[in-house]
Amino acid sequence: MGSIPIEELLPPGPDEASEVGSWSPPPESSVMRVGFDRKSGGPIVFEGETPIRVQLCERIWRYRYPANNPVGKTENRWRLEILTDPGQAYLRPQHSVVIAQEPYGNGWLQAATFKMYSKEEKSEQHFEPVEQPLREKEDPVDWLERNLEYDPWENGAHYVAGIGAPNGFHEDPRNTHGAFVFGACPDFNGLVAELLGCHKIQDMLRQTEQNHITFWYRPAIKNPPQLYPEVIAEAETLMGLSIQQALAGPRRWSETWFGQEVSKLVRTIYCDHLNAFNKKVQRCKGHEGVLVDDHEVD
């Protein structure tokens, strides 16, 4: 199963000042593969799982920012690292690992690419200056994570995907519950774009625009809820997030998903987002009516 419960990772009283927190992950998990065995033009399906190792390490980053600054900077950050054995058949440098966090309603999702390793001794890490022009307020560590060819610390024999600049992990108090879910694909952005353009996804968006989509699970509701205009207006944003979260794979019973289309999981997550957002709008408006509470996204 490619997930790790967060309750097992966070010790009591995590360091809120850190970027990630003082986790202590178990050493092994797995990623759900998507897009590796796919035939040209074939459906995008969940293909199986590949073992990984997960670790959290405090790393020292050194860089110059901006590039012409003669004074180097040093920064300590917690870094979530996903390691895989080069001997396995699928994951290679530049392939993506996708990490979603449940509950999916918090929107935490991040993709990172595997980097090559070097067997050279690394008693002290050294980084070349950031030579590319960075956008205003762009995080230098995030830039380095995306552009370094070799992992700066791995001198063993593992490909490493690192997250040294997580996307707002501590911004939501619910982030101390649920689990991390791990997936992998050869081309994350390409699969997201292809799924967004496929017939089944576009049909969901059309149903949403027309307010005809069934976004609840209960088979019999006397007065089914309708989506508020504010929710319909955010349909594409919610769909994009749902696609990315689905590429991390299912959060439970992963074996039952082998061979099933990713769009099926996208629909489940998307409807959860619609329902949660619809309930939020309804509460803000103070309206009475049907609230469907059997979804898990929030």
The span from the CA of 257 to the CA of 130, in Å, is 42
Note the pLDDT tens digit of each residue in 6-56.
Answer: 555 554 444 444 444 444 545 688 999 999 999 888 899 999 999 999 887
The pLDDT of residue 219 is: 64
Neighbours of 57 (CB within 10 A): 13
The pLDDT of residue 2 is: 67
The pLDDT of residue 8 is: 57
The span from the CA of 96 to the CA of 113, in Å, is 4
The span from the CA of 119 to the CA of 130, in Å, is 24
The span from the CA of 82 to the CA of 74, in Å, is 23
Instruction: Reply yes or no on whether the pLDDT at 183 is more than 90.
Output: yes
Contact 30/82 with Cβ under 8 angstroms? no
Instruction: Reply yes or no on whether the pLDDT at 155 is more than 60.
Output: yes
The pLDDT of residue 22 is: 45
Segment 234-254 mean pLDDT: 94
Q: How confident is the model at residue 124 (pLDDT cuts 50, 70, 90)?
A: low
Contact 67/147 with Cβ under 8 angstroms? no
Note the pLDDT tens digit of each residue in 63-86.
Answer: 877 767 777 788 888 888 999 999
Contact 46/257 with Cβ under 8 angstroms? yes
Contact 26/54 with Cβ under 8 angstroms? yes
- Which residues contact residue 160 at a Cβ distance below 8 angstroms, ignoring those fewer than 6 apart? 81, 82, 83, 114, 115, 117, 151, 153, 154
- Backbone φ/ψ region at 119: left (φ over 0), alpha (ψ -120 to 50), beta: alpha
Segment 138-157 mean pLDDT: 87
Mean pLDDT, the chain, rounded, equals 81
The pLDDT of residue 77 is: 84
The span from the CA of 155 to the CA of 139, in Å, is 25
Instruction: Reply yes or no on whether the pLDDT at 133 is more than 80.
Output: no
The span from the CA of 236 to the CA of 68, in Å, is 41
16-20, 57-61, 212-216: least confidently modelled range = 16-20
